[in-house]
Amino acid sequence: MKNTLFLLLAVAIAGLTGCGKPADSTGGSSTSANGGKKLTIALLPKSKGNAYFISCKKGAEKAAQELGVELLFDGPTDPDPAKQNEIVENWITLGVDAIAAACENKEGISTALRKARAKGIKVITYDADALPDAREFFVNQARPRGLGMR
Q: Cα 7 to chain center, whole Å?
A: 12
Write phi, then psi, for 83 (nearest 5 degrees): -65, -40
- pLDDT (tens, 9 = 90+) of the chain, 150 residues, equals 555 555 565 655 556 544 444 444 333 344 554 457 889 999 999 999 999 999 999 999 999 998 899 999 999 999 999 999 999 999 999 999 999 999 999 999 999 999 999 999 999 999 999 999 999 999 887 666 666 666
70 contacts 39 by C-beta, under 8 angstroms: yes
pLDDT at 24: 42
20 contacts 32 by C-beta, under 8 angstroms: no
Closest CA to 79 of 128, 112, 146, 114: 128
Q: Which CATH superfamily is domain 2-8+40-147 in?
A: Response regulator (3.40.50.2300)
pLDDT at 43: 96
Residues 31 and 35: their CA atoms lie apart, in Å, by 6
